[in-house]
Amino acid sequence: MSISTSSRVPALRNIATRLRIESVLATTESASGHPSTCCSAADIVAALFFAEMRFDPKNPQLATADRFVLSKGHAAPLLYAAWAEAGFVARRDLLNLRKIDSDLEGHPTPRLPFVDVATGSLGQGLCAGIGIALNARRIGADYRTYVLMGDGESAEGSVWEAASVAAYEKLDSLCAIVDVNALGQSGPTQLEHDMEAHRVRWDAFGWNALVIDGHDMPAILAALDTARATKGRPTALLARTLKGKGISFVEGKNGWHGKALKKGEECDKAIAELTAQFINDAEDVPVPSLPEAPKVPAVPGLVAAPAYALGELIATREAYGDAIAKLGAQDARIVALDADVKNSTFSDKFEQRADKTRFYQNFIAEQVMVGAAMGLASRGAIPFPSTFAAFLTRAYDFIRMAAISNLNIKMAGSHAGVSIGEDGPSQMALEDLAMMRAQPNIAVLYPCDAVSTDRLVAAMAATPGPAYMRTSRPKTPVIYGPDEQFPIGGLKVLRSSEADVATVIGAGITVFEALKAYDQLKAEGLPIRVVDLYSVQPVDAAALVACAKASGGRLITVEDHYAAGGIGDAVASAVASAGFTVTRLAVREIPRSGTPEELVDRYGISARHIVAAVRAGK
């Protein structure tokens, strides 16, 4: 059912007016928020939700429904008002905006079922939109993805990373809408209302760029029709708007960003002006059409055990590639994303052995790689984005937002630590464990051999929520049998006796330095306990405390990482309440180029230094 053409535009204009009123009332009640930016985009949102998008107001997560990403997340009251207009949110609840017991937060998060990814850190929505659109391609759905952005956030480089990748992927189901209201937080935006300059930029990136009046409802509807009909490339609707549209003393004026209208005369005047804009006798817009429910594929069973021989030399980064390829061949939800280092991270094994349509090349654009992974995860895929661990620092804001969203994204960082060798410090991730551990819900895993890598990749895929695996460049011997299990949150005690004088805790390549130290110290009559802390977060605190008690209270950590935030801090935090302290061997200065063996020794994390630390305590 649809309303007649003659009454469609008046009805949508009335909806836009209601969205403005609800946004003003909610932010005024909260005494905080961004009503002016809600007002500039209200016509666009009214057209999208009530004339263009196909979705089920009672089931926001329907797999075939069109998707909407509010990249300019500070316009959250507008989004909440739209879902109230659709009937999913009670209008009275809009007045609970930003309250501690309300999910209608200052910026949207997936605590709300109609929010796919958390937004508010600007420049991320289009990256996520790419992943959401790629997921439609993955499952063979015809849903469309709409991303509402601000012109201010278009200064973010990640927007243009995304623009480039979307054009490369020919994502014609993706439509970006830029609310060009010409005003940022502290003053005018870079291009202000130079709409031709906006158009030229998007056109240069290969998009179908359309300039429209963002308050002209027929023009908005016509542009959305054009976007839907465009094939072979994404569309950008560049909507010229006025911040604070509809409120005379706010409209187009600087200084109103993030400023709620005051209760009383100020708010009352705004509501009176907006109310006067209603069109009488406009027909109601019917609820959106309901897409057909999709078929849900069966989830595969257990993954086969790894086929590595004891003593075989293989780098954990290569075992990672084998593991995701094996998973991908079995489970269509598994996808892999690369940033032009697939032959170093070995994610190219997924591309070669699994379904190539589920391997996404983002080139040297780590922000869009992680952002697209977020979008894919939000729609049911299990994405494995991988690059050098050092380069994930460039995408850390996206990682932070993935954690806030609690998305099922499985990151991998290779070439970690001084053990990578001659490439030098710019390539040596020595802070990645710290930055991942800083997010309380990211599982942080650091396998030492091929078997533990294989099992932990499977565990990552099977465990909901974000996870990070640190892989190493050097080849290491296989020390675990194929039936060994590696639950997330566990550890392995590799050597122990009743006479242990200390427990040495390593992960990755330092496990093998600890084993070398064990052999030397045993010959001296100084037995030590050796622990492989393959799960750095969550960490097995009870087992670590037990190890401390069994080895005279002495704990020594050794890590190919800076001293702050890594294994030493993880262990110290776990055992502090039991009264134990930790001696920490870590990289404590900016390293330089050299062979792996030279660097591991020079920076204090080789077997020689472990032996010295154990002896020093006797």
For the chain, the residue count is 618
* 366 catalytic residue (yes or no): yes
- Which residue is catalytic, options 22, 29, 169, 366? 366
- Whether 395 and 446 map to the same domain: the answer is yes
Query: Is 483 inside any structural domain?
Result: no
Query: Is 299 inside any structural domain?
Result: no
The tens digit of pLDDT for each residue in 519-554 reads 999 999 999 999 999 999 999 999 999 999 999 999
CA 538 vs. chain centroid, Å, equals: 19
- Whether 465 and 508 map to the same domain: the answer is no
Query: Is 257 inside any structural domain?
Result: yes
Backbone phi, psi, residue 414, to 5°: -100, 180
- Whether 130 and 244 map to the same domain: the answer is yes
- pLDDT above 90 covers what percent of the chain? 93
* Secondary structure of residue 150 in the 3-state scheme: strand
Structure confidence at residue 588 (pLDDT): 98
Q: What is the pTM of this model?
A: 0.96
Interatomic CA distance for residues 457 and 11, integer angstroms: 52
Cα torsion 614, 616, 617, 618: sign: positive
- Whether 593 and 562 map to the same domain: the answer is yes
- Whether 204 and 115 map to the same domain: the answer is yes
What one-character DSSP code corresponds to residue 356?
A: G
- Whether 405 and 457 map to the same domain: the answer is yes
The pLDDT confidence band at residue 2, using thresholds 50, 70 and 90, is very low
- Whether 240 and 104 map to the same domain: the answer is yes
Query: Is 286 inside any structural domain?
Result: no
In this structure, what CATH number is given to the domain that contains residue 349?
A: 3.40.50.970
The pLDDT confidence band at residue 295, using thresholds 50, 70 and 90, is low
CA 289-293-295 angle, 5° bins: 160
Residue 1 pLDDT more than 50?
no
- Whether 140 and 171 map to the same domain: the answer is yes
From residue 195, alpha-carbon distances to 9, 199, 335, 462 in Å are 25, 6, 38, 47
Contact assessment for residue 538 and residue 443, using Cβ atoms and an 8 Å cutoff: yes
Structure confidence at residue 299 (pLDDT): 64
Query: Is 226 inside any structural domain?
Result: yes
For residue 275, give both structure tokens: 């109310």
The tens digit of pLDDT for each residue in 235-266 reads 999 999 999 999 999 999 999 999 999 999 99
Tell me which of 454, 477, 500 is where a domain ends: 477
- Whether 391 and 534 map to the same domain: the answer is no
List all residues 6 or more positions away from 66 whose beta carbon is below 8 Å from its beta carbon.
Answer: 52, 53, 54, 55, 143, 144, 145, 146
For the chain, give the mean pLDDT.
Answer: 95
Query: Is 294 inside any structural domain?
Result: no
Structure confidence at residue 302 (pLDDT): 58
List all residues 6 or more positions away from 201 whose beta carbon is below 8 Å from its beta carbon.
Answer: none
Structure confidence at residue 281 (pLDDT): 80
Contact assessment for residue 206 and residue 162, using Cβ atoms and an 8 Å cutoff: no
CA 435-439-445 angle, 5° bins: 70
Tell me which of 275, 297, 326 is where a domain ends: 275
- Please tell me the total count of domains within the chain: 3
In this structure, what CATH number is given to the domain that contains residue 565?
A: 3.40.50.920
- Whether 503 and 438 map to the same domain: the answer is no
- Whether 57 and 159 map to the same domain: the answer is yes
- Whether 508 and 468 map to the same domain: the answer is no
Structure confidence at residue 585 (pLDDT): 98
Residue 6 pLDDT more than 60?
no
Tell me which of 421, 449, 477 is where a domain ends: 477
Domain extent at residue 428 = 313-477
Interatomic CA distance for residues 457 and 177, integer angstroms: 38
Query: Is 204 inside any structural domain?
Result: yes
Query: Is 283 inside any structural domain?
Result: no
Rounded mean pLDDT, 319-334: 95
Residue 191 pLDDT more than 60?
yes
